[in-house]
Amino acid sequence: MKERGGTNGGERQAPEPVFGDYSLLPGTSDECFAAGAEPHPYAREIVRLIDNVGRAALKARQRLTTGAFLKGGITFNVYSDKKRGERIFPFDLVPRIVDGAAWGRVERGLVQRVAALNALLLDIYGEQRIIKEGVIPESLLLKCPGYLPKLRGLAPPSNVFVHIAGIDLIRDSKGELLVLEDNARTPSGVSYVLENRAMMKRFLPYVFQHAHVRSVDEYPARLRDALRAVEPAGCDDGAMVVLTPGPFNSAYFEHSFLARRMGTPLVQASDLFVEDAKVYVKTTAGPQRVSIVYRRIDDDFLDPEFFRPDSLLGVPGIMKAYAAGNVTLANAPGNGVADDKAIYPYMPDVIRFYLSEEPILGQIETLLCGRPKELEHVLAHLHELVVKEVNGSGGYGMLVGPKASAREREEFARKLRGNPDNYIAQPLIQLSTSPTLIDGQVVARRVDLRPFVVTGKDSWVLPGGLTRVALVEGSYVVNSSQGGGSKDTWVLQ
């Protein structure tokens, strides 16, 4: 089938090209077009294929995807309206295209980064050489809320801490892909990668078939095999389960999706219990041993005996089972220290320290306000920097210097001098754009990319990842809660 709108044989009118009047944002790179509005060489064929679909047909297909997501129940829950608050994550049918030749370097860079994160965690919960040798100051470590000193001396099965990593990447105005942040706890979004791909195959089959895109479907099997490979010794008949907070959690669809696609039970904390430092699941045939828990709940709610005695959530005693080496928890507890914003600036040194290699992927130049010299520089350049609280998230406690007023900057400078340790500063990055269909027109919208790295005995990188797009004109915010959507990511063969 050819994706042509409304014509069926006989005289065909050429459809209106999709990218006919696409224009770039000044000072910003684009994932599909080079300066001068010529497609990048690797994207040329796909631009031609999508142009042939025609604007009207593309728009019609875009409309159909909404119903398809809804019917498939591919939704996320909105907390405020518990009972029936299911929304779809807005989806854009124009794919983000990734040069296959350049992807190999990204893959190596991601694997390297995950290896360093893992070595860092093993060391921090072990000997702490990196502190002793002065690469990371001890005071900084002790201030990280994700650091759990109680876990020192405990190593997870096969020494793997970060089984699933989501390393967020952005492309700057020079066209360089940079690491924006590491997610080593419970990165989410992979179900949308697979479901977005299914939508592309359904609604643009001809384009897809001729684009030669690397497959993403093996993710669940890769994850299952990776987790099986780091199972505790002597638990061959133990079950693997996915642990969810429950059906009202905003990411419940993803939890259920992964359980389904890995062929494992989806459990809630109340389905599990611990006896003699072993984990069991309650079944209609009595208790069954569990050896691997892919948990999608935060450390704080994992085990009330260990983390929060006031909490009724979690599986009492599961940390005892973990300490006894009787269960693999993925990701490992305590990982929050590795993806802390205060640790991020040290990551290039962390890579050099453990791997004796130069970092393959760059990252955003970051100033630690806790260092007097850097603080001085930040204070002198507030008008061109973004200053963030190390433990802030969602854009709170942040100053976007270029957009702030002189008075706002002055006030912020006062806070900064009062508690410099609490802040980092970065230049404002012009996130790259990707062509996106808005109201029937293809326009430039900013994107980021979350690739997923799965680690068992080895690391494997999902080709592509989740591309999030800021659907609002000029916006840098790709979060779904603030007008963000997603699109399929095509790594070409």
Partner 1 sequence: MILSRVAESCFWLGRYVERMESTARLLRVNRAFVLDVPVEQLARWRPVVVVSGEELRFREHVGSDAFTDGERVEEYMAWDPRNPASLTNSIFWARENARTTREIVSLEMWQTLNSFFQWMKGGQGRRLWSSDREQFYLRMQELAALFWGVMYGTMLHEEPFDFVRLGMYLERAGQTVRMIDVRYHMLGPHAHETIGTPIETAHAMALLRSCSATEPFLKRTRGIPSGAHAVDFLLHDEAFPRSVRHCLDRAAHGLKRVRPGVRDIGARTQRELGHLEKTLGEDGTRGRDEAHENLTHLIEGLAATCEAFQYDFFGQAPTEERRSSADAASST
Q: What residues make contact with partner 1 under the rule CB under 8 A? A: 70-73, 84, 239, 242, 247, 256-257, 259-260, 264-268, 270-271, 281-286, 288
Q: How far is the CB of 415 from partner 1 (least distance, A)?
A: 46
Q: How far is the CB of 73 from partner 1 (least distance, A)?
A: 5
Q: How far is the CB of 285 from partner 1 (least distance, A)?
A: 3
- Taking the least distance from each CB to partner 1, the nearer of 21 and 237 is 237
Which H or E run includes 111?
A: helix 100-124
Cα–Cα distance measured from residue 144 to residue 129, given in angstroms and rounded to the nearest whole number: 17
Q: Which token pair is 395?
A: 């854009």
CB count, 10 Å around CB of 19? 17
For residue 224, give Cα distances in angstroms to 123, 233, 241, 294.
Answer: 26, 17, 10, 10
The answer to whether residues 421 and 84 touch, using CB atoms and an 8 Å cutoff, is: no
Give the list of residues 6+ apart from residue 49 with CB closer than 8 angstroms, or none.
Answer: 206, 207, 210, 211
Q: How far is the CB of 198 from partner 1 (least distance, A)?
A: 11
The answer to whether residues 412 and 353 touch, using CB atoms and an 8 Å cutoff, is: no
The answer to whether residues 338 and 148 touch, using CB atoms and an 8 Å cutoff, is: no
Give the list of residues 6+ apart from residue 12 with CB closer than 8 angstroms, or none.
Answer: 4
| β-pair type (399-400, 385-389) | antiparallel
- Single-letter amino acid code for the residue at 218: E
- Taking the least distance from each CB to partner 1, the nearer of 24 and 68 is 68
Of the candidates 264, 287, 265, the residue with the CA atom closest to the CA atom of residue 276? 287
The alpha-helical segments, DSSP class H, found in 212-325 are 219-229, 252-262, 318-323
Q: How far is the CB of 72 from partner 1 (least distance, A)?
A: 7
Q: How far is the CB of 215 from partner 1 (least distance, A)?
A: 20
- Taking the least distance from each CB to partner 1, the nearer of 256 and 475 is 256
- Taking the least distance from each CB to partner 1, the nearer of 283 and 393 is 283
